[in-house]
Amino acid sequence: MDKKGSILDLVIFVIAFFLLLTCVGIIWGITSQAKTQIITQIQPLTKDLQDVHGYNATLGAEQIMGKTISSYSVLSWITIFIFVGMILNIIISSALIKSYPFMFVAYIFVVVLAVIFAAVVSNTYEEIYQNPSIASGFTGLLAASWLMLNMPYIITVVGFIAGIFLFINIEWVNY
């Protein structure tokens, strides 16, 4: 069995979660703003359409956009499950990699760099999170946003646990 992993998994984890959370928040914010604009601009047309065709355009737009926005509520759970899955991936792959003790210093160096990088990314996310034009998209992502804002602490703990599994060299039996 060819077991491969990377010492840079922590950095890749920070980048991937930042991109995921930022994209989800921006898409959610844009959709919320689009719903507001569509409802506001369609109201003058509603009376004309209702008189001629008997169709309430505001109700139709509310049904379509309202369902779209409510379906985005599952994204908050999906981002948390992806977060937990990535952490488990780092820990499990660290347990399966055979490492040599002289790599310990390099691993500590990479963990310190990953924590510094996570602090920079966390501050960048905080600026994006507080941007008033897209802040509505991040209101439904409270738990995932909390995880992202506390990413340096999480990377420290995950790096420490992954380091323990990486350097204890468990002998796994191949079946």
Q: How many CB atoms sit inside 10 A of residue 89's CB?
A: 14
Q: What is the pLDDT of residues 72-120, one digit of tens each?
A: 778 888 889 999 999 998 888 888 887 777 788 888 999 999 999 999 9
CA distances 96 to 81, 110, 166, 170, Å, are: 22, 19, 8, 8
**Which residues in 56-80 are b (16+ Cβ under 10 Å) and which e?**
ebbeebeeebeeeeeebeebbeebe
Q: What is the pTM of this model?
A: 0.77
Give the Cα separation of 116 and 163 in Å (integer). 17
- Summarize the confidence of residues 31-56 as an average pLDDT: 69
CB 24 within 8 A of CB 79: yes
Q: What is the pLDDT of residues 137-164, one digit of tens each?
A: 788 788 888 999 999 999 999 999 998 8
Note the pLDDT of residue 134.
80
Domain ranges of the chain: 9-167
